[in-house]
Structure 1
Amino acid sequence: MTRKSSTPIKVYCLPDEKELIEAQANRAGMSAARYLREVGQGYHISGVVDYQQVRELARINGDLGRLGGLLKLWLTDDVRTAQFGQSTVLAVLSKIETTQEEMGKIMTRVVMPRSEL
């Protein structure tokens, strides 16, 4: 027997409830019917990964690597960095901190626990 040939369960809900259910199903990467069927059967809805956000994290990770390499070069007293002063190093450290914060925000959005939708 297939689901299409079985008896449906009708769920009446207000327009805002329907919108919320559809939004949560969408965030979980499911149709509304599948979402309701799985939640109704007690299944734990696990996270879904947003691949666009993962690419953004990879870009940020590259930025952090370059900034870290530059900082390492400064700390080794390399002649190529002799013209840079303490203010430049502090600016790089600040940029690293800002980038880490940005990365943390994206990481929060990347893995969306479906059970918390």
Structure 2
Amino acid sequence: MKDIKHPTRPRRALPPIKVWVTETERAEIAERAEQAGLSLSGYMLAAGLNHPVRSVVDLLAVADLGKVNGDLGRVAGLLKLWLAEKRGQGASSTDVADMMRDFRLLQTQLHEIMARLAK
């Protein structure tokens, strides 16, 4: 999310709003703006108008979770392929069923985490 754009509002129509902060507060605001991928002005505008401010870190985490979910799906696919070719060799059917249930549970948990982060 980049700076909030208001094409119908001239940028210099009114003087800027000044907010007095300590050095520590300014550093924290600057860090949060950077995490969101926004300028200080864009971040303050979004926060002041109560717009959601997403962290770039959160969006990267969603992408990473998506990759893990894909890897998990590939492993489950390889397991199914192995079972089709080597039926009954190397593992009991209950162990395999338990493992597949665990894969599905992990995928569901990943989807839930991704959905929470993407909001």
TM-score, scaled relative to structure 1:
0.56
Is the partner of 1:84 in helix, strand or coil?
A: coil
Q: Which consecutive residues of structure 1, in runs of 5 or more, have no partner in the other structure? A: none
Q: What is the distance in 2 between the residues matched to 1:63 and 1:88?
A: 21
Higher RCO (C-alpha under 8 Å, 6+ residues apart): 1
Is the partner of 2:86 in helix, strand or coil?
A: helix
Q: Residue 11 of structure 1 aligns with which residue?
A: 19
Matched ranges for 1:7-86 at <5 A = 7-40=15-48, 42-47=49-54, 52-73=60-81, 78-86=84-92
Task: State percent identity of aligned pairs.
Answer: 33
> RMSD of the TM alignment (CA)?
3.9
Q: 1:97 Cα deviation (Å)?
A: 6.5
Q: What is the distance in 1 between the residues matched to 2:85 and 2:73?
A: 21
Q: Residue 89 of structure 1 aligns with which residue?
A: 96
Q: Which consecutive residues of structure 2, in runs of 5 or more, have no partner in the other structure? A: 1-9
Q: 1:61 Cα deviation (Å)?
A: 2.2
Q: 1:26 Cα deviation (Å)?
A: 2.4
1:24-66 deviation per Cα after TM superposition (whole angstroms, max 9, x unaligned): 22233211112212332x2422545655434423322222222
Runs of 4+ in 1 over 3 A off after TM superposition: 46-55, 70-74, 90-95, 97-106
Q: What is the distance in 2 between the residues matched to 1:85 and 1:78?
A: 13
Q: What is the distance in 1 between the residues matched to 2:81 and 2:42?
A: 54
Amino acid of the residue matched to residue 44 of structure 1? H
Is the partner of 1:78 in helix, strand or coil?
A: helix
Q: Give the aligned length.
A: 108
Would the alpha carbon gap of residues 65 and 110 (structure 1) be closer, same or farther in structure 2, given more than 3 Å must change? same
